[in-house]
Every structure is written in C-alpha cells, then in structure tokens.
A and B are shown apart, each in its own frame.
Chain A
C-alpha cells in the first residue's frame, strides 16, 4: 500500500492551494450576492417604480427619471411655505380668502429674443369624478394675479407672480369653515361641528357668486353677532399658468412646472398652494377626494377601503371558527363518510374553477337580495383550503393531549375548545393571515356579486379606476390607488412574515 501513497506535497504549495480555494469561496459569495441584489431589484423594481412615480406630477414622464422634485427637501420646503402663504397650512395647503401668495419665476431671454415679461394667469381645474362631476368653485374666478419684475442678471430676468384672494366680506369676527348644503332659496352651510347655519351675503361681490357655488363646496365664514357672513370658498388647488414669449425659456421657478406645452413656452403649475400633502401626495389625496359619491358627498375610495376591511375581517373570523372546527373533526374524530367528505368537499372543491359556480351563486344571492358584502361573505364562508390547513395541523398534534382530557371526563367539544384550540395558536395565525390576504386580494367574486359602486371592495374599485382613468392616461391616480391598496397586505406580511413563508412550503412538501 505504501506504493500507492502520494508523496507529501511541500508545505508552501498547500498554503497557496488553500488561499486559492478561499479566494474562490469569497468570489462565489460575491457573485451570489450580486445575483440576489439583481433579482431583488427585479422583484421589487416594479413596486418601487410605481411608488416613486405615483408621487410625480406626471407618472408617464418620458424618459422616466428617478430623481423627482416631490421628494427633494428644497421643493418640499417651498411647497410647505406656499401652503402657509395660501392659508391652509404647510401640510394641507389650499387657498383661503384674504391670503396672498407669491411665486417667483425667472426667464432667460437671449439677445434678439423679445424682452417682454411672460404672462401669468390662473386656469380652471375640474376633477374628473368617477360618477359625476362636482363643479367646485375655481380659484381663477376669485383671485387676481399680478406679475412684477424683480430684476435680473444678464439674460435672465426674474418676476414675481402675486396671487391675491380678497375676502368677500368686510365683517370681522371668528372665522369658521364648513361646507355648503344643498341649494335652496337661501344659502346655508354645514359647519365642521355639524351645525347648519344660514349664510349672509353682505357685499355685492359675495352676492354675485352665490349661484356659482354648489353643494359640498368648502367655504370660510365669519361669525359676527350670531350671523354668518360668507368670506369666500376655499380652494384646494391654485393652478397657475405662465406663458413665456417665443425665444424665451424658463430658467427656474419656485416649484418646477407640472407640465410644459407649446414647445416648452406654456408652463402649467398644477398647484401653487400645495402644502406637502398637495405636492408630494397629490395623487393619493386625489384618489380619496375626487371619487365623491354625489348622493352622500362621501369619498367612494374611502368606502371601498372600509368595505375591503369589513369583508376581510368577516372572512377571517368565519374561517378561524369554522375551518378549525371542520379541520379538527376531519383530523381527529372518527365518523362514517369522513374520507368522502375529505376528498369530495375539501380536495375536489379546491380543484374545480370558481367560474362553474358563478351562475348559480349569482342567481341564488340575487334572489336572496344579497348582492352586497354580506352575500360575498356568505358565499365564501368556509374556505376549503383553510379546512385543509387546519386538518394538517391538528393531525400533527400529539394524541396524548386529547387522551388525558378524555380521562378527565371532557367531551369532544370541551376537548376541542379547552385543549386543542388554545394549542393551535400558530396555525390559527397562519390561517387568519392567508384568509386576510385572500379576502383583501379577492377579485373574481366581488366583481360578480357587488353591483353597486358604494358596495365595491378595493380591488373592484381599482379595476373601475382603470376603466375610467386608464383611457385618459391618468396613471397618477391609478398608481396611487394601487399602492394604497397594497399597503395593508405588505404591513401584515412584514409583521407575520414567517407565517407566510411557512404555511405554503409545509403543505407543499406534505401535500
């Protein structure tokens, strides 16, 4: 055997070999991390791009940029400042009566180009509502715009745009806000505390606008001696347009323009009194504010969020109670027809597409007048998948627990309720999470069963968004809605991560 033994290699070579191997290991880890970062980018990229773009003025901007002014401290500060000037505060923004906002614009006009100042004006903005257009008052009908030169360096000249919104009344007193109520012979408003008061129009300016104001128009009133005088409507937005002359170009402005048209000479500023919410989270605010239901004045989007939560909650509660009962019976109780029930009602039911049951269930729920959240809940009361999950879990628990309970004289129900269910914590959490996720993301059944847009869940509402705004390319609203509806599941996922990861994989290997 000695002949076959390899001669001992000299020590230095071994060391070099070791180092060579170690280097390889390190390099391998490096490549692996690089690969995983690329894959993370691939899987998170669409969401991150969607999130960033949902804050842009124009999510369809081409070429797309990653640096967006809406997240730059400098512009955030200015948006805050403009909101304060408008009277609505740095966060909410808006233009209130009696306030003046200044906005700086500087224009480059090279030699040979006209040296005239640009023109500035407010322009109308009407939200495109889902169901009807609420014709809110426009800042352009109430505020005056003036443009004054403030100097310049070289080719660049600066101008100050002043938007002044005089109050409609000269009364002084406590200033309150409210919303106008349904129009009758006299104007009245519902204050923030719910009180409805008649509104007095004491100046010709105020009287001139009384027929232009619609229901739900937010207004500011002055209370003096028990009477409420109209100070003026409140504008959430102050859209400003600046047109420069041919040959001139915009050098800078307080906020970057939202839109450039006419070869960059016509500059639109979506809102010069945005506040931070109106600047960075404008699309999110629009999702809530521009979907008002004309009958109630309530935000449809908000209703959908509530509906989704209600449906998810109902589903979770029903699943936790009924799936664990059924799962326990299938796992531990002995009774005739057990196998038939398991294969027929649990496995087969999971395999057959839900479209088969579409017609019958729709007709049934329609006859029962249950084409709403309750019908939706009723339809998916006990999920076969949940029963399967609980059955697997209970099968894995030690029998001794039940036996000792049985010796102590406990019946099956007591055993289940007092002994088994308290042990089932992790499985119940997993069940609750999968059911929450399933209900929140459910689309087919809500689309079939929910017929009225006040009953929609978020998924159906969002697909409605697509129909209504997608054609116009208004992806800001669609993306904001999509991101908002993804947030609850992501939060649940971040908190209960390991349950997500565990349940699926376990059932795969066992199943």
Chain B
C-alpha cells in the first residue's frame, strides 16, 4: 500500500513515544533490577557485584517465606473463588429478562471503584464492632427461625412434588412454581410457630470477633491462611467477580442455542447442562479469566498497603509488598534483596502463565 521504506520510518515514528517510554521505564528498569539483584546496592552506595548472595539471603528471610506463602495461597484461593462465582453469576445473568441492564451496572460497581476505597470500606465493615459482626450476631439470633423455615420449605416441596408426580406431571425436585408455594407455606408455618412460642429468636451474646489480628487457620500446626488475608480474599472476590462475569457473559453469548435445545430434548437437568454444555464451551474464556486472575492476584499490593499497621504485618505481607517495604526501609534499604524478590515474583508469574498455556491450552487458538 505504502512504499516499504517510507512505511517503516513512519511506523517507528508512530511507535516512538511508546517504544521510548517502554524502553526507559520497562526494559531498562527490568535490566537494572536484574543487575541490582546480584549486587550489594542499598540506594546510597555504588553497587558492587556479589553474585547470587542476595537471592540466598532473600530465600532465607522468614519474612520473604511468609510473603511467598501468602501470595501463593492468596492467588490460588482468590482465582478459584472468583472464577467459580463469576461463571455461576454469568449463567444466572444470561437469561433474557427485563431490567438486566440495570442489574449488570449495579453489580459492576465494585469493579470500577478503587481498591483503596473498597479496602477502607471493608476495614470499617470488619471492625470489631462492625457490620460484619453485627450480621453474624443477627444470623445467630434468628438461626432457629431460619432453620424452621428451611425445614418447612423442604418438607412442603417434597410433599408437593410427590403429589404432582402422582397426578402424572413431570415435576422436578427444584420446580420453581412449587418452590414458591412451599416458601409461602413455610413462612406461614414459621410465623405460626413463633406466635405459638414453639420457636423464636435466640438470646446470643454479640459476636465479637477481631478480624485484623494475629489469627491463623492452621493445618497440622502450620499456619496456612491468616484471618486478615481471608478478609482480603473476600474483598478481592467481591471486586473482581463482576468484571470476570462480563467476560463469561460475552462468552456465553457465543454458545449456539441449538446445543441447549439438544440437551433439553435429551432431558438434561440444569446442572447437567452447565457441566456438559456451558463449561466446555467456555474453556477459552475460562483460560483467559484464570490467567488474568493469577497475574492480578500474584501482584496484590494495594490492600496490604492500605491496611498497613491495622493488621500484624506477617498476616498480610505479600511479595509485592515485601519488595516495596524493602526498597523504602528506613535506614539502609536492602534494595538488592527487594530486586531479587521482585525478580522471583516476575518469574513466578511468568511460570504460572507458561504452565497455563502449555498444559491447559485454549481451544480457540
């Protein structure tokens, strides 16, 4: 189309700002980080090469080991949770209903606000006397009522389905119309029982749990997951599910409806349809979502930095935060250690992406 030489010049001219800024702030920086990771640099001296010593030092650092464990656990748990929830919600949303646009935007809200804002709100929700604890207290208080209601619901549903089947209609155990009637009936029965004094809210002491403390979920005496990190996992799932859900929604729209019709003719249950039609067809999107999720969660930083001193450092420290604190440690900053940790983090992420590409190939490619 254009003359070749001219085209090359123009292309590099067009790319110049991008290439220059990437060269300075990415490639040069990357190279320098690798270089620093083999030196004794501490921001104030002139770096001297000392070989792999920074790496051995970093790996021996208990704080780094904790950061590594935290990062890996966080990445795996969060990615799993967000992928599953996003998929389920996308399936639920994929119905053609009025007002879907509204729900989509409403659900999208956590994804657009900054992680700092959401972390601050979650810190407040999960205070000792915060709303999370309040809701748990309420749940405990009304547990007898909720249980009564659920038992009533199941009993009513079973009775109704059996009756329907006797009259020759192919009712499923989860038949929605019958479930609505069952729910109503169970509500009336529960209200009656409360009125009769058979069941009622319990007296419970206010649930008083301190989330941002040195508390751990341990397996065989090994500290696996800290409670503050669990809160961050919940928060991260909450913020990422809507975005990932949109990816799945876009993927769902590309699944031919004929597949579902065929499954319907074969008499597949909704669960069978999900596992045998939806999930296999969404494999390329799932692949993308997991990759993005792993890259994102391995770099988790904002939440740890915002929570800062509000939680003991060991409970929340991640690789990204380890790099940051070591770079700006008061006194002599062990920048070489930070650089080594950063390189390890980068290698981990690249390895994860590589493994994903190698062993779980996307069918779309």
Q: Which residues of A contact B (CB under 8 A)?
A: 17, 20, 23-24, 26-33, 35-36, 39-40, 43-44, 46-47, 49-50, 53, 59-60, 62-64, 321-323, 325-326, 328-330, 333-336, 338, 341, 345, 349, 351-364, 378-382, 384, 387, 402-403, 406, 411-413, 416, 437, 440-441, 443-444, 447-448, 459, 462-463, 465-467, 470-471, 473, 475, 478-479, 481-483, 485-486, 489-490, 493-494, 497, 500-501, 504-506, 508-509, 511
Contact = CB atoms under 8 A, between A and B. Distances in A.
> Secondary structure at chain B's binding surface: helix, strand, loop or mixed?
helix
B288 A466 contact: no
20 contacts: A40-B103, A46-B122, A64-B131, A322-B18, A345-B18, A349-B26, A353-B298, A355-B319, A357-B29, A359-B327, A382-B18, A412-B2, A413-B10, A459-B114, A462-B120, A475-B127, A485-B114, A489-B113, A490-B112, A490-B113
A195 B206 CA distance: 59
Interface string B166-189: 000100000111111000000000
A278 B86 CA distance: 42
Q: Which among B7, B17, B22, B32 has the greatest number of chain A C-beta atoms within 10 A?
A: B22
A443 B305 contact: yes
Contact of B114 (A382, A412, A486, A505): A486
Given A40-B103, A463-B305, A355 B25 contact: no
Given A403-B1, A508-B289, A440 B324 contact: no
Contacts, number: 311
Interface stretch (B149-157, B225-233, B240-248): B240-248
> Secondary structure at chain A's binding surface: helix, strand, loop or mixed?
helix
B109 A490 contact: yes
B302 A351 contact: no
Given A440-B114, A497-B105, A360 B342 contact: no
A352 B30 contact: yes
A356 B37 CA distance: 10
B11 interface: yes
B70 to A, nearest CB: 15
B218 interface: no
A323 B14 CA distance: 9
Contact of B43 (A62, A363, A444): A363
Interface of B: 1-2, 4, 6-8, 10-12, 14-15, 17-19, 21-22, 24-30, 32-33, 36, 43, 89, 92-93, 95, 97, 99, 103-110, 112-118, 120-125, 127, 129-131, 134, 169, 175-180, 206, 238, 242-243, 246-247, 249-251, 254, 284-285, 288-289, 295, 298-299, 301-302, 305-310, 319-320, 323-324, 327, 335, 338-339, 342-343, 345-346, 349-350, 353
Contacts of A380: 25
Given A471-B309, A473-B127, 20 more contacts: A32-B97, A39-B89, A322-B21, A325-B15, A326-B15, A336-B8, A353-B299, A353-B345, A355-B299, A357-B25, A357-B30, A358-B323, A359-B36, A380-B25, A412-B2, A443-B306, A475-B127, A501-B105, A506-B250, A508-B251
Q: Which 8 A-B pairs have the closest CB atoms?
A: A441-B114, A505-B250, A360-B29, A27-B177, A357-B29, A508-B247, A329-B14, A27-B176
A415 B273 CA distance: 50
A27 B179 contact: yes
A323 B21 CA distance: 12
Contacts of A497: 105
Contacts of B338: 358-359
A28 B312 CA distance: 47
A459 B301 CA distance: 13
Contact of B104 (A27, A35, A349, A501): A501
Contacts of A444: 301-302, 305, 320, 324
